[in-house]
Amino acid sequence: EDKVVQSPLSLVVHEGDTVTLNCSYEVTNFRSLLWYKQEKKAPTFLFMLTSSGIEKKSGRLSSILDKKELFSILNITATQTGDSAIYLCAYSSGSARQLTFGSGTQLTVLP
Amino acid sequence: SQTIHQWPATLVQPVGSPLSLECTVEGTSNPNLYWYRQAAGRGLQLLFYSVGIGQISSEVPQNLSASRPQDRQFILSSKKLLLSDSGFYLCAWLGTSGGKTYNEQFFGPGTRLTVL
């Protein structure tokens, strides 16, 4: 069965810490792996990864995909309180690029 | 630029009542449209998707239905709500806007539904 597993489920850190969020997946018709950030309402897009070993970077956030091990990580360096959110991992598959999501990682950054 | 609207923002409905949630997209034509539901503390579950007018695919059997009467309009409905229909309903789109093709989905603001 196709699925996405994220770990840890929740994480509490202090400002300035570096965090690594994990996402493993099993899918038969893989197109890409996506990361979203969800604060109060709608998820906002962070990264889309299609190739192994190529790091995507945006400011303090970065992500990489391992298609052989079916794994992705999201790194956040020098965390800030504004990074507190649920981070969602999803894979895209099928002709309509449907998304299958994991349960998310709840990140709390304390001042 | 593209924008996606959902209404209402919040809704409280009694068990057994009907439901209609609307989603419209601006700034794109012939997008793929999607309905997701998020239960409290959980990830998003895909309910329906549509690749064109009148074309609806259902991912899970349930008490809900979807329709796409116009290119940029996607409606989620139910004839009789159940307690288990409570959740946060999100509409999303994927496609072309301003000459650029997007392969990632963009989400609307969502509707928080409580069934009592």
The per-residue pLDDT for range B1-58, each reduced to its tens digit, is: 678 999 999 999 999 999 999 999 999 889 999 999 998 877 899 999 999 999 999 9
- B111 band by pLDDT with thresholds 50, 70 and 90: very high
Contacts of A97 in chain B (CB under 8 A): 32, 94, 103, 105
CA distance B11 to A10: 29
Q: Is B34's CB within 8 Å of A98's CB?
A: yes
State pLDDT tens for residues B58-84: 988 688 999 999 999 999 999 999 999
Interface contact A97-B94, CB threshold 8 A? yes
pLDDT at B115: 96
The residues with which B66 forms a beta bridge, in sequence order, are B76
Q: How many CA atoms are closer than 13 Å to the CA of A3, on its beta-carbon side? A: 4
Which residues of chain B does A48 touch, with a Cβ-Cβ cutoff of 8 Å? 103-104
pLDDT given for residue A33 in this prediction: 95
How crowded is residue A28: how many other Cβ atoms within 10 Å of its Cβ?
Answer: 7
pLDDT at A1: 62
Taking an 8 Å cut-off on Cβ atoms, the answer to whether B46 and A98 are in contact is yes
Please identify which residue in the block is written with the tokens 């990264």.
A47
CA B13 from centre of chain? 18
Kindly give the confidence (pLDDT) of every residue in chain A, 111 residues in length, as a single tens digit, with 9 standing for 90 and above.
669 999 999 999 999 999 999 999 998 888 899 999 999 889 999 999 998 888 999 999 999 999 888 999 999 999 999 999 999 999 998 889 999 999 999 999 999
CA B44 – CA A98 distance, rounded (Å): 12
Q: Is the predicted pLDDT of residue B98 greater than 90, yes or no?
A: no
Phi, psi of B66, rounded to the nearest 5 degrees: -135, 155
A-chain residues within 8 Å CB-CB of B90?
A: 42-43
Residue A104: the pLDDT is 95
